[in-house]
Amino acid sequence: MGNESSSNLTGFKLDDKAIEVTDFWVHHSAKITKSEYSQDLSVFVSDYVICGTLWDKSPLEKYTKSLMLYRHPCILKYISSWNKGSKYYLVVEKVRPLSHVLVTQSTIQICIGLYSILKALIFLHSKGSVSHNNICAASIYVTQDGNWKLGGLEFLCKYETLTKEYLSKTRSHRYENAIDSNEDKYLQDESVEPDFIDLYAFGVLAEEILRKRLDDEILGGIKVFYEFCKNEMQSSDIKKRPRFTEVITHSFFNHEFVNIYTFLNELPLKTESEKGKFFSTLIEKLKTFPEDVVAENLGELLLSRLVLLDYTARKEVLPILLCPRGEGDCNNSSYLFSIETFKKFLIPKLLQIFKVTDLQIRELLLLHFTSFISCFSKDQLKNYILPELLLGIKDRNDNLVAMTLRSLADLVPILGAETVIGGKRAKLFSDGRPLAHNETKPPPTLRLTSHKHHVEPPLPVLLEIPSEETEDMKEINVPESLPERPSPDGGEDNDVSTTEDVDSNNIHEEEEWSDWDIHESSDETIKEIDEKPLSPIKIVESNIPPEMKNRKIVLPDITELDIKNQSSKVLSSSSSDDINFFQDMEPVIQSSNKYLIDDKKTEVAQPTTLDNFSVKSDLVIPEDGWSDDLDWNIDNN
């Protein structure tokens, strides 16, 4: 205690606004800001020093020594203390006076709060052999989680120092309504236990708090306990007053909800069999209470470290606890909390748990991450959850890395890939389907068959029809489906279909597929197409002898349909060394001599004043269109 303790509070900042002002100190809020985290605290500042036989230096310093000596979960938690000039500072956990929040407390919260104060008093009397001497609402504080903590230990003393003189000196500073008028008389009786002072004050406290809650039906024994506190705990006959051990076993504190709260608080003291039996029936018990009451009072206990690591709880409780009920599941009894309740009470606790670097706890959160990811806001996911997940992918545990990557994938639709993976991205993949298929049809699925005689026909060759017809071109009629190309040695007379054992139930003659889909047809369909005569194809009719017009035309390759290629490959003789099966059918085309140009006699005069875009009047253009040999055009220019 002293300056040594205060040196550890780096980044300490005290709020100038006072929360509470008493006869001995001023209550302020404070914050400690560090690089990793920030913590809210409460600070009691003593403005003056009181010297005398009752307190060595000041009431606040005695308060501090009592908090340091008597540690209990239901007693205010000591953090640090120090002197600075004429003032004394006491730093404790973040709390608020009970009088500030009592109106907002539910009946169940009050019941649990009184139970906590009762346990703190039993601890002081049974373990410490000390008396508090000032049990009242001013000595009770409420944490941020709603737990009641006992404070006001400036009047605490040992049994041996609890004398008539001590009580008379402190009587002017203690709560007047909680002082028994016969305490001096009872103090002289050696048969009376020293806890009678705190027992009487606790009865007064419970009576004052429950006076306006008697009509609450959640706790059926509230009226009975109220009469018990008024008539028995404050009885004029001290021998009729109960002991603290009798008060804590009252039916008011044996309510099912209080039993659950007590068991979760005392979980480290329970055996494995007791914990297994408790968690196996916990969900059904919690469903009998309002969900907001359960989440507010038991949310933190249900997400404590001991619960998260318990085998039965991980199997029976947490899968239901960590899965909020959707908007359309209001009547579904398999869920415990709605989304609104989950966001309000459980999400703040989960944000803290994600910072814990425990392997088992992190794997449990990632296992159920998909169930409650929608309850986080985008800001929470980006600033709190995402950094913790990115830390998890650097761990050596392969299972943890795999689960983390799956959770990161769930963040992509919410935050976007640029936020989740970072770096520069580019469109490396594209959708190759036609536009019509993108809008109306799913992508084609390749279907494989194991039938050894089934032969898939090739995709039909589509001829690209020019959008504009020239004078020498007419409409080309293309059949809807073409058979497989026959061999040049008369194979066109053979049937394409060679199998006859195809099931007729699998033939769909009316099914039509687009050019992007896999063309599925039976052998019987192929045979029907092959036997159907092809529609005539109209090609360039100019400069074709009459004997060629009635000859059967064999479809050329798709690249030969170009006008330029037709004149050079169809109408001219082949210079290839391959065997020409149509050598005896080659037509003889005579051309006029007026189109022949003598290279020796013809001389073209050089242009004098014409530019490159001028046309010479003596330039002769063939009447039968553009030729494949364009050298004549270059020479004349």
pLDDT, one tens digit per residue, over 518-540 is: 444 444 444 444 445 544 544 44
pLDDT at position 359, please? 94
Rg (CA), the chain: 48
Identify the sign of the CA torsion 104, 107, 111, 112: negative
pLDDT at position 317, please? 94
For residues 340 and 498, the model is more confident at 340
DSSP-derived secondary structure letter, 69? H
Residue 162 has pLDDT above 50, yes or no: yes
Distance CA 524, CA 441 (A): 28
pLDDT at position 503, please? 44
Distance CA 286, CA 294 (A): 7
Residue 263 has pLDDT above 60, yes or no: yes
pLDDT at position 334, please? 76
For residues 325 and 464, the model is more confident at 325
Distance CA 559, CA 575 (A): 19
pLDDT at position 113, please? 93
Distance CA 458, CA 521 (A): 10
For residues 499 and 551, the model is more confident at 551
Q: At what angle do helices 359-367 and 398-415 cross, to 10 degrees?
A: 40
Closest residue by Cα to residue 318 from 377, 261, 364, 370: 364
Q: What is the rounded average pLDDT for all residues in the chain?
A: 75
DSSP-derived secondary structure letter, 193? -
H/E element, 386: helix 386-392
Q: Exposed, middle or buried by CB within 10 Å (0-12, 13-18, 19+), for 414?
A: middle
Distance CA 617, CA 571 (A): 31
pLDDT at position 332, please? 54
Residue 110 CA, chain-centre distance (Å), reads 35
Q: How many residues does the chain have?
A: 637
| pLDDT tens per residue across span 201-216 | 999 999 999 988 887 7
Residue 4 has pLDDT above 50, yes or no: no
Q: What's the whole-number mean pLDDT along residues 593-616?
A: 46
Distance CA 101, CA 143 (A): 10
Residue 397 CA, chain-centre distance (Å), reads 22
Exposure letters 598-625 (e unless 16+ CB within 10 A, then b): eeeeeeeeeeeeeeeeeeeeeeeeeeee
Q: What's the whole-number mean pLDDT along residues 121-136?
A: 93
Distance CA 267, CA 507 (A): 70
Distance CA 165, CA 176 (A): 17
Q: What's the whole-number mean pLDDT along residues 471-477?
A: 45
Q: Count CB atoms within 10 A of the CB of residue 8.
A: 10
Distance CA 536, CA 549 (A): 12
Identify the architecture of domain 97-254 in CATH: Orthogonal Bundle (1.10)
CB 129 within 8 A of CB 135: no
Listed ranges 74-83, 417-426, 473-482, 599-608; the one with the highest mean pLDDT = 74-83
DSSP string, 562-588: SHHHHHHHTSSPP--SS--TTGGG---
Least confident among 58-72, 338-352, 587-601: 587-601
Helix (H, G, I), strand (E, B) or coil at 149: strand
Percent of the chain with pLDDT over 70: 63
Fold of 3-93: Phosphorylase Kinase; domain 1 (3.30.200)
pLDDT at position 403, please? 95
Residue 308 has pLDDT above 90, yes or no: yes
Q: Exposed, middle or buried by CB within 10 Å (0-12, 13-18, 19+), for 46?
A: buried
566 is written with which tokens? 């037709």
List the helix and strand counts (H, then E) for the chain.
29, 10
Residue 251 has pLDDT above 90, yes or no: no
